[in-house]
């Protein structure tokens, strides 16, 4: 919850993402050397930009991150998917283009592999672990609650555009932004709910919905649609109610808040609680470590971004964690 500075977000990504790559690719041998070099270059470009033109450093570093880390990673994954379906020529062409951005031994070896497969003119066995576009569509169809919440947020944003709430804080307040004084003095408790579907701008909406799209479907498939919907809403109301409570006891200052980030952090918390409870299940501990990494990154981002409501995120996280500890799985494997 809170307004977002695009330059600051890109700067955060351009610093944290390469550091994570360096942490995961610390091994001196193997295919990781190229990723270490790319991560170091992104950090160097970001550092130089920060020294000489700080107000644009995020855009410069973000551009370097996009070109040297994100595009190669996405491109290599796409090339593997193409090869998994026997489209070796397309995979070879894509990998050849990636050589300009990521000229490493890994890309050269993969290019050679696709060339050999193409020359043989035969389809290989499907590559394990790769998902097809049909698989992704099927996963989304199995997450009706996620789709519903995405549509509700988009619909609410359209109303904001229609009413002019993005440029007029008074209208945003009338639509249901969380206001401490309105909740306590006037008893407008409905704001605890309506604020969850409002956003300050398009960037704010996109970030929250992207996080919901990534994190929501796996949890919904695991615990079921009804339980997921209840988790989303209860965690969201828990985040707004928590902010009001913290304001009453003067831990945080009164502020008008909107956004679905409390709900999203509730999903993260629910995943953490669920995995703690079912830590004996295969891969649960590894997934829990991934969730803890997400939480750590979010906390660092909140601390470094004064416009963001850290209290709302933490309250949603704690509420979701409590739900995750008690919710039962829809199926035994996840």
Residues assigned a catalytic role: 261, 313
117 close to 124: Cβ distance less than 8 angstroms: yes
For residue 161, what are the contacts with CB-CB under 8 A and spacing of at least 6? none
CA distance 262 to 241: 11
42 close to 14: Cβ distance less than 8 angstroms: yes
Strand partners for 333: none
Q: How many CB atoms lie within 10 A of CB 195?
A: 29
CA distance 281 to 331: 12
For residue 315, what are the contacts with CB-CB under 8 A and spacing of at least 6? 238, 239, 240, 241, 242, 243, 246, 262
79 close to 114: Cβ distance less than 8 angstroms: yes
DSSP secondary structure, 28-77, as one string: SSGGGHHHHHHHHHHHHHHHHHHHH-GGGHHHHHHHHHIIIIIHHHHHHH
- Counted residue by residue, the chain has a size of 334
CA distance 1 to 310: 8
CA-wise closest residue to 205 among 66, 31, 4, 19: 4
């Amino acid at each position: 919850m809170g307004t977002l500075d695009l330059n600051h977000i890109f700067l955060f990504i351009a610093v944290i993402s390469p550091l994570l790559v360096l942490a995961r690719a610390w091994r001196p041998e193997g295919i990781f050397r190229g990723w270490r070099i790319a991560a170091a270059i992104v950090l160097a470009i970001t550092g130089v930009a920060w020294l000489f033109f700080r107000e644009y450093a995020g855009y410069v570093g973000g551009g370097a991150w996009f070109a040297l880390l994100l595009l190669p990673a996405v491109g290599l994954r796409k090339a593997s998917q193409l090869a998994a379906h026997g489209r070796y020529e397309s995979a070879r062409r894509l990998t050849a283009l990636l050589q300009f951005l990521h000229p490493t031994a890994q890309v050269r070896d993969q290019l050679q592999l696709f060339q050999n497969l193409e020359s043989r003119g035969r389809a290989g066995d499907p590559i394990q672990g790769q998902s097809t576009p049909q698989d992704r569509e099927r996963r989304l169809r199995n997450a009706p609650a996620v789709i519903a919440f995405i549509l509700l947020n988009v619909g609410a944003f359209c109303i904001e555009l229609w009413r002019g709430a993005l440029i007029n804080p008074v209208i945003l307040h009338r639509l249901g932004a969380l206001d401490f004084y309105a909740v306590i003095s006037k008893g407008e408790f409905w704001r605890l709910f309506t604020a969850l579907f409002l956003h300050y701008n398009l960037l704010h909406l996109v970030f929250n919905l992207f996080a919901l799209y990534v994190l929501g479907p796996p949890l919904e498939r695991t615990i079921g649609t009804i339980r997921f919907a209840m988790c989303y809403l209860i965690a969201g109301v828990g985040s707004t109610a928590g902010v009001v409570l913290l304001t009453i006891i003067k831990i945080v200052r009164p502020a008008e808040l909107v956004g679905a980030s409390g709900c999203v952090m509730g999903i993260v918390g629910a995943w953490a609680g669920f995995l703690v409870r079912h830590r004996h299940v295969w891969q649960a501990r590894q997934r829990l470590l991934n969730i803890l990494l997400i939480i750590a990154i979010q906390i660092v981002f909140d601390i470094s971004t004064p416009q963001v409501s850290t209290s709302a995120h933490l309250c949603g996280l704690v509420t979701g964690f409590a739900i995750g500890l008690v919710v039962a799985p829809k199926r035994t494997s996840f």
